[in-house]
């Protein structure tokens, strides 16, 4: 997608040296587009942990390049094992991390150390290219859902939560891919962007990337979503996901479940967009089996933004003595999901439909 007219991916190998890895530091958005250069596996692990890069598919792609950086420094068996373990422990919920590292392991372990660095960069590049193609396909399959409601110039209102746009992936995004395609096709699409406390991925990231691409959108408080649905102002909800079980339960950013409940109560379709790399075929019960990341209480007790004097400031919004809890994801049971938008097409959120669509993976 474009930033001020220039096409970008969210991660790429530096053209100047051919080996270091460039990312957009997402902790600086929307205030600055800071293209950070990462040169070691430890720097990449930090970037994932501290959420300079985030979003399930991008976390996977970043981890793959983390392995490549590790191999460049030392391609021994022990360093490969250490890199896989260290990167694998950076964030617990997004399954794409485990998926990408398993793929790197399969590609590199059989090779001699001398062959590993080149192979690691090639494999990481392939993961990125496939992610772009996959998300483009998700966009194509999701587009008719919007087109059906946007006939004769009618405005179609989509509500989304968190950021499942191009910067959560390598390009296109998952939930936002159909929206970008609808916009580019000239449909009258408008997005209600939920702010997504505590880290505000909606307000600071989704709003930023939609704005940079020229997609009409309005930021709303998380608590406003149900009200907008009651008023008939939401045609459909599309969210991304960090892990889907084989039975179709969906883990996504905290607050998603409440929107699924409100959508059900108001007869609003609730769609979840995902690449098949986000399906965890080893589990069925999302509530019992998906690990939910607990993040720092500081994300709840503080807010960062631009002060009136133009400086970036972090302020405390909770009494100093009050503790805070910060579960970062929740699980929406499959029964509340209208359907899944995958790279192979629309799919019911249940085991029969998923295993039929992805026979060779299930
Ligand atoms: O904690 P984050 O920002 O990495 O959370 C991931 C997300 O942005 C969402 O949960 C998203 O909907 C899934 S990733 C396409």
Ligand 1 closest atom vs CA 169: 15
pLDDT of residue 320: 97
Residue whose CA is at the smallest distance from ligand 1 atom 15:
164
User: Whose structure tokens read 């494999």?
Assistant: 123
φ/ψ of 340, rounded to 5, equals: -110, 140
Ligand 1 closest atom vs CA 293: 1
Distances (CA, A) of 231 to 147, 234, 262: 22, 8, 12
Q: Ligand 1 pocket test: pick from 164, 250, 270, 291 the residue with the most ligand atoms within 8 Å of its Cβ.
A: 164
Query: Do residues 160 and 307 share a domain?
Result: yes
Is the Cβ atom of 202 under 6 angstroms away from ligand 1?
Answer: no
Is the Cβ atom of 174 under 6 angstroms away from ligand 1?
Answer: yes
Q: How much distance in Å is there from the Cα of 242 to the middle of ligand 1?
A: 6
Please give the tally of structural domains in the chain.
2
Query: Do residues 122 and 167 share a domain?
Result: no
Q: How much distance in Å is there from the Cα of 277 to the middle of ligand 1?
A: 14
Q: How much distance in Å is there from the Cα of 292 to the middle of ligand 1?
A: 12
Q: Last residue of some domain: 111, 131, 151?
A: 131
pLDDT of residue 62: 98
Q: How much distance in Å is there from the Cα of 359 to the middle of ligand 1?
A: 26
Report the predicted TM-score, pTM, of the whole model to 2 decimal places.
0.97
List the CATH number of the domain containing 342: 3.40.50.10470
Q: Is residue 344, in this structure, part of any structural domain at all?
A: yes
As a residue count, the chain comes to: 362
Residue whose CA is at the smallest distance from ligand 1 atom 5:
55
Range of the domain at 53: 2-131
pLDDT of residue 90: 98
Is the Cβ atom of 240 under 6 angstroms away from ligand 1?
Answer: yes
Q: Is residue 300, in this structure, part of any structural domain at all?
A: yes
Structure tokens that stand for 66 in this block: 């983390």
Active site residue 242: yes
pLDDT of residue 344: 98
Query: Do residues 170 and 258 share a domain?
Result: yes
Query: Do residues 255 and 121 share a domain?
Result: no
pLDDT of residue 4: 86
Contacts of 349 (CB under 8 A, 6+ apart): 244, 248, 249, 250, 272, 334, 337, 338, 339, 340
Ligand 1 closest atom vs CA 59: 4
Query: Do residues 190 and 74 share a domain?
Result: no
Q: Ligand 1 pocket test: pick from 57, 168, 237 the residue with the most ligand atoms within 8 Å of its Cβ.
A: 168
Q: Is residue 362, in this structure, part of any structural domain at all?
A: no
pLDDT of residue 1: 87
Is the Cβ atom of 60 under 6 angstroms away from ligand 1?
Answer: no
Catalytic residue among 131, 171, 235, 242: 242
Q: Last residue of some domain: 131, 150, 172?
A: 131
Q: Ligand 1 pocket test: pick from 201, 256, 291 the residue with the most ligand atoms within 8 Å of its Cβ.
A: 201
Q: How much distance in Å is there from the Cα of 2 to the middle of ligand 1?
A: 20
Q: Last residue of some domain: 113, 131, 149?
A: 131
pLDDT of residue 9: 97
Contacts of 329 (CB under 8 A, 6+ apart): 93, 242, 251, 252, 253, 254, 290, 292, 293
Give the pLDDT of the chain (362 residues) as one tens digit per residue: 888 889 999 999 999 999 999 999 999 999 999 999 999 999 999 999 999 999 999 999 999 999 999 999 999 999 999 999 999 999 999 999 999 999 999 999 999 999 999 999 999 999 999 999 999 999 999 999 999 999 899 999 999 999 999 999 999 999 999 999 999 999 999 999 999 999 999 999 999 999 999 999 999 999 999 999 999 999 999 999 999 999 999 999 999 999 999 999 999 999 999 999 999 999 999 999 999 999 999 999 999 999 999 999 999 999 999 999 999 999 999 999 999 999 999 999 999 999 999 999 99
Query: Do residues 43 and 149 share a domain?
Result: no
Ligand 1 closest atom vs CA 51: 4
Ligand 1 closest atom vs CA 242: 13
């Amino acid at each position: 997608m474009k930033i001020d007219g220039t096409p970008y991916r969210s991660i790429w190998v530096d053209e100047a040296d051919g080996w270091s890895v460039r990312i957009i530091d997402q902790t600086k958005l929307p205030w600055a587009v800071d293209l950070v250069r990462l040169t070691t596996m430890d720097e990449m692990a930090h970037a994932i942990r501290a959420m300079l890069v985030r979003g399930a598919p991008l976390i996977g792609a970043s981890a793959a390049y983390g392995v490549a950086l590790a191999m460049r420094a030392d391609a021994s068996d022990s360093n490969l094992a250490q890199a896989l373990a260290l990167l694998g422990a950076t964030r617990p919920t997004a399954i794409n991390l485990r998926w990408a590292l398993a793929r790197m392991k399969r590609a590199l372990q059989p090779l001699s150390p001398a062959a590993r660095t080149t192979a690691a960069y090639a494999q990481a590049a392939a993961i990125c290219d496939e992610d772009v193609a996959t998300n483009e396909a998700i966009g194509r399959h999701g587009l008719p859902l919007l087109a059906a409601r946007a006939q004769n110039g009618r405005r179609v209102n989509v509500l989304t939560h968190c950021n499942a746009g191009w910067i959560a992936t390598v390009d296109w995004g998952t939930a936002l891919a159909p929206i970008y395609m609808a916009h580019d096709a000239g449909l009258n699409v408008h997005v209600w962007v939920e702010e997504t406390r505590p880290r505000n991925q909606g307000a600071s990231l989704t709003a930023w990337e939609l704005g940079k691409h020229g997609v009409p959108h309005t930021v709303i408080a998380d608590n406003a979503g149900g009200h907008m649905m009651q008023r008939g102002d939401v045609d459909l909800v599309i969210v991304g996901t960090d892990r889907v079980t084989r039975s179709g339960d969906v883990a996504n950013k905290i607050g998603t479940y409440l929107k699924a409940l409100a959508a059900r109560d108001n007869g609003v379709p609730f769609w979840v967009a995902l690449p098949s790399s986000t399906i965890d075929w080893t589990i069925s019960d999302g509530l019992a089996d998906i690990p939910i990341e607990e993040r720092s209480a500081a994300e709840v007790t503080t807010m960062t933004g631009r002060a009136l004097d133009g400086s970036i400031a972090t302020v405390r919004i909770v009494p100093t003595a009050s503790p805070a809890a910060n579960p970062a994801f929740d699980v929406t049971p499959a029964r509340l999901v209208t359907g899944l938008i995958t790279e192979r097409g629309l799919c019911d959120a249940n085991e029969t439909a998923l295993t039929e669509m992805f026979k060779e993976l299930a």
